[in-house]
Amino acid sequence: MYERDELILKHIGKYGHSVRAVIEKLFFADATSDHVLNRLVKEKRIVPASGIPGGMSYYRLSLSEARARSVPEHRARPKKGPALRLVLQVLWFCCMSEKNRTLLDRKKIRETFGNGNGSGKPHCAESDGEQSIVYRIYAPGPNSRDDYLLKCLRSDMEKGLERPELKSWIEAGAFAFAVLVETPERKEKLKRLISKTGPYEARIWIEVVPGLSNFALEIRKRGMERSDVN
């Protein structure tokens, strides 16, 4: 097996789902990946699936490949609705932003920060030269209440500060809370609410990331998607 195949399978296993444009950005320097993805599909190592509005398909590991790699089976199952949105938003936040970010393994997170409120949320590491920061990711749904989100953030921060292993990271500014929203208008509103209800003990980073309603459009806008459209 090619080394690149291994990297692609690891990537899909880690994020649960991935799309052609992301795979091409990460492993093909934006060149076409058709030949490799088609071969992996033919070998039944990955499975294409539809479900992203706008006629875009995504890839997940086949169940046999997930078992062979000890990847939790739920990651290899097709997702829809909020679960699919969360996977795509985390994928975009980690792989399509200009920053160098990678999703962290849940087991590693529990080992480092212990079990507690919010430890089941996705976490990612961002490195910028010598500085690096771990983000706990919140991806509120389109109909979720902002005041409730801020209440959860504050509660998770307070509980986190009670745990010495997390407290030292928060105080050093190496642990922050990322909120992924779908629209710039919501980002502005959240910023206003945060400054009104703050100060908060930890840094809150708000980023606009496409959701189900515009994921396909944003991918195409970037000119990276070529032939995933049904």
Partner 1 sequence: MQFEVEVVLGNEVRDLISVLTTKVRVLSIRQVFRTWPKFLPRLSALERAGLLFSFTAVTHPELAMCCPVVRWKKGDALPDFGKVSYVLRSRWSLPGVTTKCFIASRAAGRMFGGNGGRYPRESEETHDIHLAAVYLRFRDCEPEAAKSWIHEAQIKSERRQSRGKLPDAIVQKTRVIEFGGAYKKAKLAAFHKYCEAKGFDYEVW
Instruction: List the one residue from 62, 146, 194, 200 that touches partner 1 (CB under 8 A).
Output: 146
Q: Tell me if 2 sits within 8 A of 34, measured CB to CB.
A: no
Contact status: 198 vs partner 1 (CB under 8 A): no
x-marked contacts with partner 1 along 12-51 as a string, rule CB under 8 A: ----------------------------------------
Q: Out of 4, 110, 145, 222, name the contact with partner 1 by CB under 8 A.
A: 145
Residues 76, 106: Cα–Cα separation, whole Å: 16
Query: Residues near 175 by Cβ (< 8 Å), separated by ≥ 6?
Result: 113, 133, 134, 135, 136, 160, 166, 169, 202
Q: Helix, strand, or coil here: 63?
A: helix
Return the number of the residue (39 or 191) whose C-beta is nearest partner 1: 191
Considering the rule CB under 8 A, would residue 82 count as an interface residue with partner 1? Answer: yes
Q: Is 114 in the site for partner 1 (CB under 8 A)?
A: no
Number of chain positions touching partner 1 (CB under 8 A): 27
Contact segment (CB under 8 A) with partner 1 among 4-12, 39-47, 107-115, 176-184 equals: 176-184
Q: Is 201 in the site for partner 1 (CB under 8 A)?
A: no
Residue from 22, 94, 139, 190 touching partner 1 (CB under 8 A): that is: 190
**Does the protein bind partner 1 through residue 141 (CB under 8 A)?**
yes
Taking the complex as a whole, how short is the minimal distance between the CB of residue 214 and partner 1, in angstroms? 6
Of the pair 134, 206, the CB lying nearest partner 1 is at 206
Integer CA distances (angstroms), 94 to 9, 13, 26, 98, 110, in order? 17, 14, 11, 9, 20
Cα–Cα distance, 90 to 19 (Å, whole number): 12
Please check whether residue 209 is in contact with residue 89, taking contact to mean a CB–CB distance below 8 angstroms.
Answer: yes
Among 26, 183, 205, 207, binds partner 1 (CB under 8 A): 183
Q: What does the alpha-carbon distance between residue 124 and residue 115 come to, in Å, rounded to a whole number? A: 16
202 binds partner 1 (CB under 8 A): no
